[in-house]
Structure 1
């Protein structure tokens, strides 16, 4: 680095001195703190001697400047140093002044002068900045490079207006090559090529750019590029080079004094992004009609949305887009509707009348008189009126023109649906594509794409809320030494997020506070407490326990929050219950207010009521599904009952309700554990098994129960611990992890026996009996069934009793005792007539169909299986559907309807595999294998049977292994492989020695016959 002074050049070679000088020059004539200089030299880890070293470097720089004839260049300032640079001697400042002059010339139509200023400004760039490895200076370099590119784009716009497209092509090609993702540069190059007669090359530039954007960012080009491509393809006349419009003199620009044209619109936001369809919809509605209409009223559109979503930005953008359609002026006023002192209709009318040319002393005093004069002043004129941040329709009505030649655009957080004939739209948060575009426009593409994954994470943390994105981007732009990752780390902590989203007096929290302050006291309380919910969305009934109010009264309070745009209404399918949710940043604010405004006792009381309401509804859903309090034990936790009409509305279909509230129930179990509510925690987890079992949500089953088990063990709650051990053992049965099921079930049986809980002990015996039966221990299974029956009958658990009777019926089936099985199953169905347990009835029908199959009454079996399939599908029992479809496929197979049977069985097996139900997958494979044997498809039979054998071996199910090996031997025999067949039969016969004779008597005889013994 070389200094040119009056007494000659002086070289500055030391990197630290170069960094310090660069920092002082970037802030020329402003003091730079020593801490800032230290950060520039050493980053975030300066040595202990850093201040002293800075002083030494500054002293050396002063000496060098003195040698060059500039002794007063660097002076000491409070807490730092200052570089004194005379006006016009620092290129950076000259650049800024020239750019300001060029922009002013452009705005005034003085394009040749603007072109010259832009040229001179850009000619000042003579190489890269010397950074000396400083991350701070590197960030400044990125910012200045972004600024240079933006100015280059503006200059290109002016050159195109002046017809200089041909000389632009080369430079633009070079710049697009260096910055391939910069869409505005690419658009200028396309236009320059098109105007130079190179249409094909212009379209190729578009295609290359689109490929890059899609491949690297996963987004389509923006509107400007897409529309330009269409225009080039169609040869649109407006793309042709035209002479630059002549500059208008100030005198010519002034309207006649008698026809003042108000231009009150704020400046348009240059980085406006998103809401394309909404802009088109509102613009179309507000456009003046081309012909007289039958209803010539004032066209009105209202825009609503939550705080910070960009309503004002959208309204101003629309105002500028429609300005040409309303040449007589645009009126704009911000009502500050939710502030402590909003603008009144009287004040708004006074401002508008003055803007329309009415002298101050001629403005009437009364509201009605002002409104009359206002309507008269805009009559027959084409004026667009924008009323921003309105709180209520009453503010709007006084400012509605009487003439259909005018249009009105209104914004407000509440949905202003009471204005006659108004188009009402709502602004949503930005989707990820438009959020990224906005972020890139503010921060700069180089910085964003250097940390693309972290940039996407930051955008997600802002939740698509434009104000949050703008603040986050502005903070990064103002701190070029920050990485995106550093800022993300600051935002991840929800308790600090709103503190971080503040910049230049603008903050997300401040916007939300305006809405919060105008809520009723009950509305504020509900808003605070909604932050306690741990689910992404929630049902409306939670407002009642959160507030401790009647659901109807609580619902009105929730509606207040919806109207204030604090709570979003989720779009749901017709006929389904409405869902609500909080935006992530609004939830963060809700939790802030909760901690600040409510005592711990208030918080825990509200949360306990809400968790108790979850338990109440979950228990009622189980009761309605099973026809009573069956097959479950319950704890003594308090319930928060909801009125009957709410329960009936919610639980029209209990399993569907469980599915809808699945994540809420899981979160409630977790929160109950976190609050030390062990009794509520285990009871809620156990009752939710109704869903986990029906829909095979085994991970949810395991997660909730392990949480509850830990909590009950911590609290010394033996009954709750026993219930969780029992249910976790049952889960292992469903997963066919039988070796893990037995220890859990035995532990539960011991605990229930120890505390004398007859019901719990009987339920465990029921499952231990099932485990015995499927592992071939029929006598033990039968004994445990009878013992379980005694306990279940003693406590009146009718459904639990039918479960055990079903198991006894299956034992009869396994022994070939068909009459006993049919008699018992028919008795079970008669017992179920007094209940409303759809699942148990379907299971019993399926088992009765099994008996018909065993007796060769295949038509009756088919009918029962088909009825069962219809029944289980009606309430979403996926496991039950697999069982019923297996039975139906078996009935079709034995009736030689092979194609129908194969289709049904393969669908059933695919479903079983999806549900990870290995036992049923293996059983279906055996049925398929035997069907293939019957039709002499030996290879296909062998494949199906071999897969099933692997499953039964893993599950250690000897009975099924025996029957499968027998069928595998038959397949080998059909293929003429006698040795392999005899080996399979011999292995099956050996396994029968491990089983009870009653279960395998006929099988042993059959195997011996095959082996010739």
Structure 2
């Protein structure tokens, strides 16, 4: 024979043998030989080589590979073996030149001899056929390729069928003792193959080893229950009964193997009714609406024009199988012709071949192994023929994908199918699907009541609720915890809760009596492609409870599109949950127990340096997005930058994420705070302080002062620990600014002075100028105008050396305020106009609005009400462009004062009341005081002394509380004038 497929691929020509080492060439040649003398389409060859993701040049590369195979064959005298024929290629091989064809011929001869009763000839033919096999099929290192799975599985199935037929012939010749040892090995290698086990039982029994024969049955039954959730088929059950009853005649030879039917068809004789459903659990609870929905989808009175398929999807451990079996048992009597059940995943989450499942089903209907075809298509045809017109319920548990399920579907609408899967089987046409979620608190408590008793649960309800929370409402986790408590009545619920609190041991605690959350999650994890497994592990590094899809890119160091596709595989596998926020933004999260398992996988699979590099990539990407969000909100940069790496994202991803920058920040705020914490824990001090400082303007905009303080104290500690003096200075400067917002001016001054010294020590003139600017502002708030002006001039001189127009504008704005207070209107307007010119370089809307408000106040002081109204109106336009609530307060106040002086008192009062509402919600205390002052002045002007006195008194309390001496003195003066009495 020139071509050998049955083992390692070998080719021998007239001029010697050829060694084909290139993997793609081996795949192509093997597939062409499997389909010898039949055209194999190019597309099928592409699928075999690359699977679902072929390159754009795939067809051209196939042509090159075929050409190289032809060249290699020609070198040993095998010319014109492979011919091009649309739509692909054909290998023209004589039957005697291909071991696969010789194998088929010998196997056919053996079956013919066996059917004729010539078991000696049958044995010889079968043995000669099996001798052609030189080992396991070995085509390439990627033997799990989908395109090769079918042909490979078919050849292996044919080999095992011939082995069984050879054993039947040997038993017919009375060679049972010689077969026992070999059959034991075959059963160990193929524990789910029932006919082999039946042959072993028969050989043992006829060798006088009855107890061992029955033990072989018991072992086989346990394997079938554990692996597939089914009882043994008719052949094994009848054989066990015959051995137990003594009706199996040890002297009589076995009946010859049944001839295979010429075409698939039902087996004659009384019909066998398979009852393969597992038992339902007694404490099933909490799924009433799902049960009703499933029963409606499976109702035999429903539309019978097409197949009825219902799918049950959900994450591992959520209770899909329990629900399916419960519903199936409820409906079992409505399907008198049988109920079929099969698990579609085997050990380590490997899919059970459809051919194996079909064999189980056919045996369940009483069809003997010898009458079951070897080919998958023929088995599927025989199955459809067997159930046609009958009322049979089919339950397929834990399906891998649609392709696996399609082989197992009946052709008859009278046979509904219920499928459970972690994946959403949207590719099965006409499927009615239900999603099983984790238990609500009420449902979880119902389960605990059923297992532990209501008295025990209600006696310690707080601990019961904590137990539900630690199990995340996952049905399997709750059932395991409850089972452990039921087995240990001396344990309190609090004892179980305490054991579960240790996250490192939680999955160990959630294992009992063969049930376990870890094993359930492992099935899903091991069924993933390697890249998806890697992403699953690394997602557990994120301490944030939820995240956006872009995070997958830095976690895998891949482009966003590819990484997001991988993330969706985790969603499909129900290992990651997703929800739409506001109907648009997808947010992803992991169930707490899933995260614990992912962390275990991460610890086992990836080293500490690997994890550190991954975390740094993620944090660097967050910093890049955060800075870009800042630029989009403020149309400018923030003041200080560190040396941390910024990992960019593609422009289209940034535009997608930051379509609403402030909305993005609000959604990501918790994650960003967590990022600061993780950076510190990892010792990434530069990244840590850069993230914290970039967050400040966002925190300031929403008055998230506690977040501001928390992030900066974390960053300050890690920069001190790592000797990062510039980072320390930046954090001290920012904390000083925070204290100023809180009107804790003495603390602010202490932090700012320390920051100024550190900036000076590292030669950072820009940072030093910022600290001096804020120290001057503290002087200004406390009424020390001369010191403040001196500080501003110092800061302005240093800022001339940098490119920071926004801070320059701030300084000029504050200097203008002092000019206004001193009645130097020309200087004030000059400073403000200069600030507006400076802002042309940065376009900062927020500071621009502040300057325009200040300019409006200057016009009010000079009585130019039209100019004041125009300035405040322009300020309001800038404020609304960026959504600045504090700025809106001051603009409204300015407009209200303008309206007051124009005599529009009602309109002025309405504006002030609106400004008050915004200021109080924003907790802007100084603004509240100034509006109270304006309301008091307005009430006094309108002659309402009581109302004026109330507003002025409350304003005075605010000013005293924040130590705003200038405004305190003004409020006292107005109140004193109103009451004509001195105020203490």
Give the aligned partner of residue 286 of structure 2.
Answer: 274
Alpha-carbon deviation of 1:289? Answer: 5.4
Q: CA deviation at 1:507?
A: 1.0
The farther-off stretch of 412-421 and 610-619 is 610-619
- For these two proteins, the number of residue pairs brought into alignment is 717
Residue in structure 2 matching 1:476, options 477, 485, 488: 485
**1:342-741 equivalences in 2 (<5 Å):** 342-356=351-365, 358=367, 362-576=371-585, 578-630=586-638, 632-741=639-748
**What residue is the counterpart of 1:297 in the other structure?**
306
1:952 counterpart SS class = helix
Q: Mapping of 1:180-191 within 5 angstroms? A: none
Shift of 1:356: 4.3
Residue 388 of structure 1 deviates from its aligned partner by: 0.9
1:279 and 1:599 map into 2 onto residues whose CA distance is: 46
Residue 946 of structure 1 pairs with residue 958 of structure 2? no
Q: Give the 5 Å matches for 1:833-848.
A: 833-848=840-855
CA separation of 1:317 and 1:882: change in aligned 2, threshold 3 A = farther
Change (3 A) 1:857 1:289: farther
**1:338 and 1:391 in contact (8 A); partners too:** no
1:915 to 882, 905, 922: 922
Q: Indicate yes or no: 2:310 matched with 1:311.
A: no
Contact (CA 8 Å) 1:338, 1:518: kept in 2 or not?
no
- Other structure's SS at 1:661 match: helix
Post-superposition offset of 1:933: 1.6
C-alpha deviations, 1:92-113, integer Å up to 9, x for none?
xxxxxxxxxxxxxxxxxxxxxx
Task: Check whether the contact 1:695–1:876 (CA below 8 A) recurs between aligned residues.
Answer: no
Instruction: For 1:574 and 1:816, locate their aligned partners in 2 and report how far apart those are by CA, in whole Å.
Output: 55
1:824-850: CA deviations, max 9, x gaps?
Answer: 434433443443433223333333333
Asked if 2 retains the 8 angstrom alpha-carbon contact of 1:735 and 1:917, the reply is no
* Distance in structure 2 (CA, Å) of the matches to 1:863 and 1:386: 75
Structure 1 residues 411 and 946 mapped into 2: Cα distance closer, same or farther (>3 Å)? same
Give how far 1:695 is off: 1.0
Q: Per the alignment, do residues 281 and 789 of structure 1 end up closer, same or farther by CA in structure 2, a change over 3 Å counting? A: farther
Residue 794 of structure 2 is aligned to residue 787 of structure 1: yes
Instruction: Give matches, 1:20-419, under 5 Å.
Output: 262-288=274-300, 296-323=305-332, 326=335, 328-336=337-345, 339=348, 341-356=350-365, 358=367, 362-419=371-428
1:743 maps to 750
Give me the TM-score of the superposition, normalised by structure 1: 0.67
User: How has the CA–CA distance of structure 1 residues 862 and 271 changed in structure 2, closer, same or farther, with 3 Å as cutoff?
Assistant: farther
Q: Deviations over 1:8-35 (max 9, x none)?
A: xxxxxxxxxxxxxxxxxxxxxxxxxxxx
The answer on 1:765 being equivalent to 2:755 is no
Contact 2:308 2:416 survives alignment (8 Å): yes
Inter-partner Cα distance in structure 1 for 2:583 and 2:771:
42
5 Å matches for 1:878-889? 878-889=885-896
The question of whether the paired residues in 2 share the 8 Å contact of 1:909 and 1:924 is answered with: yes
Partners of 1:289 and 1:891 in 2: how far apart? Answer: 78
Distance 1:323 1:685 in 2: 62
Deviation at 1:605, TM superposition (A): 1.8
Cα distance in structure 2, aligned partners of 1:860 and 1:451: 71
In the superposition, relative to structure 1, how do residues 803 and 376 fare at CA in structure 2: closer, same or farther (>3 Å)?
same
SS at 1:411 equivalent: strand
Q: Which residue pairs with 2:982 in the alignment?
A: 983
RMSD: 2.6
Give the whole-Å Cα distance in 2 for the aligned partners of 1:398 and 1:276: 31
TM-score norm. by structure 2 comes to: 0.69
Q: Which runs of 4+ in 1 moved over 6 A?
A: none
Distance 1:363 1:731, change over 3 A: same
1:325 CA displacement? 5.6
Moved more, 642-651 or 736-745: 642-651
Per-residue CA shift, 1:394-451, capped at 9, x if unaligned? 1111222223333222111122111112233322211211111112211221221221
Q: In the aligned structure 2, how far is the partner of 1:628 from the partner of 1:889?
A: 30
Q: Which sections of structure 2, spanning at least 5 residues, go unmatched? A: 1-267
Q: Quote the offset at 1:750 in angstroms.
A: 1.9
Could you list the runs of 5+ residues in structure 1 that have no partner in the other structure? Answer: 1-255, 973-980, 988-1013
Contact 2:812/2:834 (8 A) holds in 1: no
Mapped to 2, the partners of 1:654 and 1:409 lie a distance apart of: 46
Paired with 1:584 and 1:650, the residues of 2 have a C-alpha distance of 26
| Aligned counterparts of 1:344 and 1:828: Cα–Cα separation in 2 | 76
Deviations 1:268-299 (A, max 9, x none): 3333333444444444344345567xxx3212
2:845 and 2:881 in contact (8 A); partners too: no
For residues 709 and 587 of structure 1, what CA distance do their matches in structure 2 show?
A: 30
**Offset from partner CA, 1:981-1006 (integer Å, 9 cap, x none):** 3213xx6xxxxxxxxxxxxxxxxxxx
SS of the equivalent of 1:983 reads coil
- Contact 1:627/1:837, CA 8 A, preserved across alignment: yes
Q: Is the Cα contact below 8 Å between 1:773 and 1:781 reproduced in 2?
A: yes
Does the CA contact (< 8 Å) of 2:350 and 2:527 recur in 1?
no
Q: CA deviation at 1:464?
A: 0.7
Q: CA 1:773/1:269 → structure 2, altered by over 3 Å: closer, same or farther? A: same
CA apart distance, 1:467: 0.5
Distance 1:686 1:381, change over 3 A: same
TM-superposed deviation, 1:706: 0.8
Q: Aligned-pair distance for 1:880?
A: 2.6
Task: Give, in angstroms, the shift of residue 598 of structure 1.
Answer: 1.7
Q: CA distance change for structure 1 residues 963 and 341 in 2, over 3 Å: closer, same or farther? A: closer
State the Cα distance separating 1:763 from its structure 2 match.
0.9
> Cα offset for 1:381?
3.7
Matches within 5 A, 1:790-869: 790-858=797-865, 861=868, 865=872, 868-869=875-876
Deviation at 1:856, TM superposition (A): 4.4
* Structure 1 Cα separation of the partners of residues 849 and 471 of structure 2: 49
Preserved contact between residue 624 and residue 836 of structure 1 (Cα < 8 Å): no
C-alpha distance 833-319 of structure 1, shift in aligned 2 (>3 A)? farther
Does the C-alpha gap of structure 1 residues 796 and 307 become closer, same or farther in structure 2, counting only changes over 3 Å?
same
Tell me the secondary structure at the aligned position of residue 888 of structure 2.
Answer: helix
Preserved CA contact (<8 Å) 2:848 2:878: no
Cα contact 1:338–1:515 (8 A) shared by 2: no
Helix, strand or coil: the match of 2:584?
A: coil
| Whole-angstrom distance in 1 between the partners of 2:352 and 2:604 | 31
Contact 1:463 1:583 in 2 (8 A): yes
Per-residue deviation, 1:323:
4.4
Kept after mapping to 1: 8 A contact 2:311/2:432: yes
